[in-house]
Chains A and B, each alone.
Chain A
Amino acid sequence: MTITLEALDLKKVFERRTIFRNISFLMSEGQSLVVTGRNGSGKSTLLKILAHVLTPTEGSVKIFSGLHNLSHSSHLHIGFVAPYLTLYEEFSGKENLQFALAVRGLAQDAALIDRLLDRFSLGGFKHAPARVFSSGMKQRLKFAFALVHRPPVLLLDEPMANLDTDGINQVRELMTEHRKDGVLVVATNDISDAVIPDFVVDLNVSR
């Protein structure tokens, strides 16, 4: 079944200030979108709304598999990475990923967890508590955390934050890969961070 992400007439108002309005798009598997705009333009707000963790003032966001609406189980179909996302610091990298599967009610997959930790160069630190990680390592762990339940929709807010050259290359590779068989949304100030997108939402013109 083809996965689609539909945003319809999104509007967000915070304390009488309209952050954005009239944002609509329909994306299918194999497509990517870049959300851009100056600081405070609402990029993170829009991504949180797409992730179903923030309610829009007006409009709706839906995820479909064919004609079947998956929005009620968005936590199973969305992967989200952002600098302001905090993982469980007392847990190790491996435990964070195991916890992410357990809370979602999914079966543990030790091979996948090891593969993801290795992919983001955290294989040697999988038993170390996340609180001892550097900010770059924490950002890498967030990518593993976002992918552990194999989500078809991947939402990345400033994905290159805190990453070194190797990390940036790993994320570029991930974006290219995910774009082939999933839905990819990237919010960034620097459009060169993202793969060449199919759509661009410029929040500087959406107020």
Chain B
Amino acid sequence: MFVLGTTTIILFSIGGEGIGADVLSGMLWVVIFFSSMSGLSRTFVSEEERGTSLTLQLMATPAAVLGGKLLFNIVLASGLNAFVVILYFLLIAEFVLKTYSIFVLTIVMGSIGLAAAATIIAAIISKANTKGTLFPVLSLPILLPLLIAVIKLTSMAVEGVAFEEAMDEFQFLVAYIVVMVTVSYLLFDYIWKD
């Protein structure tokens, strides 16, 4: 509903005006960011709310729990982002792609990056009292470098830039994902066991 609501609001607000590739790309990722925030934070919070965190701790190693939750978040983020993109294409006629390969890879890597960062942040906030508000507050600075890179790549896909010219940005995305997964793996043991 959030995705449908925000996309409809964007559709009405742009009206018949000609909007640039940068703005349309930015708006796409604004919808993706906020819809992800509402879904990805639930991974660990739901365990805390149901009281099953301790049960899970007793059954699996921290690395296995992190791996499982990360995989779930990647699948959730990929599905959610695919839905957002399809809806965006259907409703925003001005959003026309010229380099599909850049766009597809951006969505795939953006989903993995979002899921990797959101998983460890979700683990941190699940131990806090103000879970709902803390998640976007902690997420924004951590996700900002990722969002800047994916917005730039989406603009490149709209403008029709050659795939080779986007390699620097993709290398940054790979580095971001590797850093996030490594840091999560190193920190998770301490977070999970208080």
A interface secondary structure, majority? loop
Instruction: Determine the residue in chain A with the shortest Cβ distance to B65.
Output: A103
Instruction: State the interface size on chain B (CB cutoff 8 A).
Output: 14
What residues of chain B have their CB less than 8 Å away from a CB belonging to chain A?
50-52, 54-61, 190, 193-194
Closest B residue to A155 using CB positions: B58
Measured CA separation A188–B58 after assembly (Å): 20
Stretch of A17-25, A83-91, A110-118, A172-180 that contacts chain B:
A83-91
A100 on the B face (CB < 8 A) = yes
Q: Which of A86, A88, A103 contacts B60 (CB 8 A)?
A: A103
Q: Are B58 and A75 in contact (CB under 8 A)?
A: yes
In the complex, chain A residues whose CB is within 8 Å of the CB of B57: 53, 75
Interchain CB contact under 8 A, A88 and B52: yes
Cross-chain contact B59 with A104 (CB below 8 angstroms): yes
Chain B residues lying within 8 Å of A48, measured Cβ to Cβ, are 54
Q: How far is the CB of A56 from chain B (nearest CB, A)?
A: 10
Interface range on chain A (Cβ under 8 Å from partner): 20 to 34
> B55: which of A54, A78, A86, A104 is its contact (CB, 8 Å)?
A86
Please report which residues of chain A, range 14-41, place their CB below 8 angstroms from some CB of chain B when the two chains form the complex: none
What residues on B are CB-neighbors of A80 within 8 Å?
58
User: How many whole Å from A161's CB to the nearest CB in chain B?
Assistant: 15
Please name the residue on chain A nearest to B52 by beta carbon: A86
Please report the C-alpha to C-alpha distance between residue A82 and residue B54 in the assembled complex, in whole angstroms. Answer: 10
Q: Which residue of A lies closest to B194 (CB)?
A: A54
- Quick one: CB contact mask for A73-112 with B, threshold 8 Å, 1 for yes? 1010010101011111100000000001001100000000
Please judge, given known A-B contacts A53-B193, A54-B194, A55-B190, whether A86 and B51 are in contact too, CB under 8 Å. yes
Please give me the residue from chain B that is nearest to A87 by CB atom: B55
* CB proximity of B27 to chain A, nearest CB, Å: 38
